[in-house]
Amino acid sequence: MDQVVLFRNLAESIDANVLQEQRYLLLLDGLKTTIVISIGAIALGSVLGGLICRMRMAGRSGLVVPAKAYIGIIRGIPLPVMLLLAYYVVFASVNISPVWVAIATFAATFAAYAAEIYRAGIESIDPGQREAGLALGFTRVQTFTHIIAPQAVCRILPVYKGEVINLVKMTSVVGFIAVQDLTRTADIIRSRTFDAFFPLVMVAGLYFMISWLLLMALTGLENRLQPRRLSRQRSSGHD
């Protein structure tokens, strides 16, 4: 009997929180916004992070000092404050969608952390690898792309994955600048249906799903890049 009651309650909850007033459209919109901001910020931030890492490791103080300052400042300011600063101060006079402001802010933040993750990965490669590359006749750039980078990526990915998940979860504060993301949507539904439990748990589940999918994708990439796998592929491809 209890199970029947439980099932009926669940059906009622879904009906009230998802179906009535076409709330699933609201939810989908929120989900889309969260994904767009996350993916945009990760893509942009990863590239920007590479640039900052390059500056940070340049060895010339003209490049190193700005990079260090950037990383230090970004890491020292809470993300919601950054977001508000970007929206109400930096982009105040520009007519721009708050979603773009969010992507820019998260990308800028992600870049600072990514730069340090890249640097740790690159510096963990034995300098002898670089010397061997140069001695063989590779240029500096070729040595980096053919020898250092492929090895560094394998060491960067495990930490990078963590940072990616972190970013997805941090996007939940975009409600501060009136972006209707997943979290904000759940809150709106809660205020309409006076049911706190169901929409929040549902959204928590959705965040978990996004993180999990990203994690799986990156783990797949990580496994594909393992030297063992590569050598097996190569050898089987030739036999």
Partner 1 sequence: MIEIQNLSMRFGNERVLENVSASIQEGEVVSVIGPSGVGKSTFLRCINRLETPQSGHIFIGGEDILDPGADVPRIRRKTGMVFQSFNLFSHLTVLDNLTIGPVRILNEAREEAEARSHVLLRMVGLGEKALSLPCELSGGQKQRVAIARCLSMRPKVMLFDEPTSALDPTMVSEVLAVIRRLTREGMTMVIVTHELNFARDVSKRIFYMDEGGIYESGPPEQIMSAPQRERTRVFINRLRSFRYHIEHRDFDVFEMNADIETFCEKHFFSRTLLQHIQLAIEKIVAFYYQRGDSGAITVTLSYSETEGTVQLQFEDQEAPGDFLTDAEVGDESAMTLLKGLVRDIVWQPSPKGNRITMTLNESGS
Binding site for partner 1 (CB under 8 A): 126, 128-129, 131-139, 142, 146-147, 150-151, 154, 227-228, 230-231, 234-235
Q: Least separation, in Å, of the C-beta of 230 and partner 1?
A: 7
8 Å CB contact between 10 and 197: no
Residue number, 58 or 154, with CB nearest to partner 1: 154
Residue number, 76 or 137, with CB nearest to partner 1: 137
Residue number, 60 or 228, with CB nearest to partner 1: 228
Q: Least separation, in Å, of the C-beta of 43 and partner 1?
A: 25
Residue number, 138 or 176, with CB nearest to partner 1: 138
Q: Least separation, in Å, of the C-beta of 150 and partner 1?
A: 5
Where helices occur in 124-196 by DSSP H, the ranges are 127-136, 140-143, 149-170, 182-193
Distance (Å) of CA 25 to CA 19, 31, 199: 9, 10, 14
Q: Least separation, in Å, of the C-beta of 146 and partner 1?
A: 6
Question: Residue 209: is it exposed, middle or buried by C-beta count within 10 angstroms (0-12/13-18/19+)?
Answer: exposed
